[in-house]
Amino acid sequence: MQAIILAAGEGSRMRPLTASRPKVMLPVAGRPLLEHILLRAKSAGADRAVLVVGYGQDLVRSSFGDGSRLGMKIEYARQEQQLGTGHALLAAESLAEERFLVLNGDVLPDEQSLQKMAGGGPSVSAIEVDDPRRYGVFTEERGRFLSVVEKSDSPPSRLANAGIYLLERSIFSALRQAPLSPRGEFELTDGLNLLAVQEDLSIIKLNRWLEIGRPWDILSANESLLSDLEPEVLGTVESGARLNGSVSLGRGSRIMSGAYIEGPVVIGENCKIGPNCYIRPATCLGDNVRVGNAVEVKNSAVMNDSKIGHLSYLGDCVIGEGCNFGAGTVCSNLRHDKSNIKSYIKGKRVDSGRRKLGAIMGDRVMTGINTSIYPGTVIEPGFLGLPGAVLKGLVK
């Protein structure tokens, strides 16, 4: 089977994390999101994949190459301009086979549901949600797909479009007939609405899914995926350090005496951890990360080449590449009134829906010693902080 994965977008809602990489290359549970999607597709029988690339395509191509590393054949289609999901799928038309899976690059379905979908006829996927106003939702008749109704104040169902499809080449004709959407893009859902008039499409309900559309979704995804972590210790653990639970440690990494690591935790290659630090569950550290003396890291994602100076605290944070925390930097993650944390999407203040959320930090940020960072603070790439600073809100 062939899978076509729509991976050309930047992911503007994930800024500042996507300032230098596409959303599909953000690390989740120790590997890029796109790699998780490819492996799920492979588990459903796809041994061939087409990646539709655009923004940050060189990083995608260099990471996955011809697919041999994953035991797949990978080809690439380029979407010159990001003009919608329908436009992205049309970019892959010349490489598409008679029948193929289509997966959005920001959704990870459960393997069992994907396997069921791949073994049937043309279909669309749905997930039942509590607040369908946030999603395009399906209308249906006895399990047959009728249409997608985009975000509505009065949605006709709770069946949200999960962004995974099993389609045939007839979708391309439908997409060429689809009109521009109100936001000036060619939407795959408009093509599906036209196709449903001519052909039967069934609805497959997913058991679970992970949607990664906002920076803090990385934390939820880590928690979910790390629950199945198989521990593998390839680095060095000094006497006096303790690993408790499922901990994966990459080659060349060293856990120094006095460190206490409570899994599930993923630590990449060539990291130096400790001495005398505490790393708590659902934390993912990239390659070449340094965690200093008397540091505590809780439920956080720290990308490659970042350094957490001694006496610092990170709680529920997402930290970009090449950041440096001055000694005594504290990223708080809980309001005194314990209400939901407000953060920022595209510069607008929004409710994260999380009671605990620390900093969202772009690449190459440096904090001065004894810096205090408020919950939900977003810091743009390259920010240089002063000693004793208090950072709050949207920091540029």
Strand locations in 73-231, DSSP E? 73-78, 99-104, 107-109, 123-128, 137-141, 144-149, 159-168, 202-205, 209-211
Could you please report the per-residue DSSP string of 252-277?
Answer: T-EEPTT-EEESSEEE-TT-EE-SS-
Nearest CA to 303 among 18, 106, 107? 18
- The answer to whether the CB of 166 falls within 8 A of the CB of 98 is no
Amino acid at 19: A
Q: Which residue has the tokens 């930047």?
A: 10
Q: Name every residue whose Cβ is closer than 8 Å to that of residue 131 and which is 6 or more positions away in sequence.
A: none
Question: Active site includes 87?
Answer: no
Q: What are phi and psi of 149, to 5 degrees?
A: -105, 115
Chain centroid to Cα 379, Å, comes to 19
Host H or E run for residue 36 = helix 33-43
Point out the catalytic residue in the list 36, 87, 310, 336: 310
- The answer to whether the CB of 223 falls within 8 A of the CB of 207 is no
Tokens standing for residue 247: 């901990």
Q: Name every residue whose Cβ is closer than 8 Å to that of residue 62 and which is 6 or more positions away in sequence.
A: none
The total of other beta-carbon atoms located within 10 Å of residue 70's CB is 17
Tokens standing for residue 38: 């490819």
The total of other beta-carbon atoms located within 10 Å of residue 170's CB is 14
311 to 255, 256, 295, 329, 339: CA distances (angstroms): 17, 16, 5, 7, 27
Beta bridge partners of 138: 148
Taking 3-state DSSP, the helix, strand and coil percentages for the chain, each rounded to the nearest 5, stand at 20, 35, 45
Residues noted as catalytic: 310
